[in-house]
Structure 1
Amino acid sequence: MIQTVLKRDGRIVGFNEEKIATAIRKAMLHTDKGEDLQLIHQITDHISFKGDSQMTVEAIQDMVELELMKSSRKDVAQKYIAYRNQRSIARKAKTRDMFLEIINIKSNDITRENANMNADTPAGMMMKFASETTKPFVDDYLLSEEALEAVSHNYLHIHDKDYYPTKEPDLRYCIRQIHIF
């Protein structure tokens, strides 16, 4: 039985079978035959009980695909697979666009942000790739809502945000506890 899920970003969260049901339902709503609540519950229950105690998001999605392919609703499997592929492409495109911006624009705010790093050199460019992909991760997964709001309103500046995941836990805790007055 699935207990926890390993997310793409490395977080471990409690398993929520409703997410499987919602994904299948959305795929069904994009077909001519529409929604089949019995099949949704059947697949959701099967995966919930058949899975390992901890699974990755990808492994769970693979199981959903297999169960849909075994069912009489191949049309739903097709829509589900297509949606997964679109999301994968979108995740890759976001990173690709950021990399292309660094490669194609020699002198801008991004490449000149850090005086200690020359983004025109291959080593500097690689450091910049790492730096720019880490910042959204910090915003999305490490900062509290209060800290993120303080940053967006310029009440707080996090120097070297790209190094934030490596900072001492006490410092991260302090920033999480910020209250806006």
Structure 2
Amino acid sequence: MSVIKRDGHRATYDRNKIVSAIQKANTEVDQEERISEEQIYNILASIENRGFDEMAVEDIQDIIEQKLMAEKKFVLAKTYIIYRLPIEYH
């Protein structure tokens, strides 16, 4: 899958960048607000299983935020927004 960056360039999808951003946000919140590694990989699966050849980075980030909020992890979702830049696919 390709990721369309904010500047319009395309980059190869790298799930590790997503995992890293979520994990960084996870470490910044209280234990009860965190999600498990399994939940992180379920979020990845929900992105990857859509079957798109390409996705905008903003759409990927929105999916992640929606999934975190669906888990009622509102503080984590807000904290994740701060870590969105690392998955810009520089």
Relative to the length of structure 1, the TM-score reads 0.42
2:18 match: 20
The answer on whether the counterparts of 1:28 and 1:76 sit within 8 Å (CA) in structure 2 is yes
1:74 match: 74
How far 1:65 moved relative to its partner? 0.6
Aligned residues: percent identity? 33
Output the CA distance in 2 between the equivalents of 1:51 and 1:31.
32
1:49 match: 49
Instruction: Write the letter of the residue equivalent to 1:48.
Output: E
Relative to the length of structure 2, the TM-score reads 0.78
CA RMSD of aligned residues (A): 2.2
- Moved beyond 3 Å, runs of 4+: none
Instruction: Write the letter of the residue equivalent to 1:20.
Output: I
In 2 relative to 1, CA 52–72 (structure 1 residues): closer, same or farther, beyond 3 Å? same
* Greater relative contact order (Cα < 8 A, sep 6+): 2
Output the CA distance in 1 between the equivalents of 2:11 and 2:38.
27
How far 1:74 moved relative to its partner? 2.5
The answer on whether the counterparts of 2:3 and 2:10 sit within 8 Å (CA) in structure 1 is yes
Max Rg structure: 1
Tell me how many residue pairs correspond in the alignment: 84
The answer on whether the counterparts of 2:43 and 2:64 sit within 8 Å (CA) in structure 1 is yes
Does 1:9 pair with 2:7? yes
SS in 2 for 1:13: strand
1:130 match: none
The answer on whether the counterparts of 1:29 and 1:35 sit within 8 Å (CA) in structure 2 is no
Unmatched 5+ residue regions in structure 2?
Answer: none
Instruction: Write the letter of the residue equivalent to 1:67.
Output: K
Which aligned pairs between 1:120-135 and structure 2 lie closer than 5 A? Answer: none
The answer on whether the counterparts of 2:2 and 2:10 sit within 8 Å (CA) in structure 1 is yes
Unmatched 5+ residue regions in structure 1?
Answer: 88-140, 142-181
1:32 match: 30
How far 1:11 moved relative to its partner? 1.4
Q: Compare the two structures and name the one with the higher strand fraction.
A: 2
SS in 1 for 2:11: strand
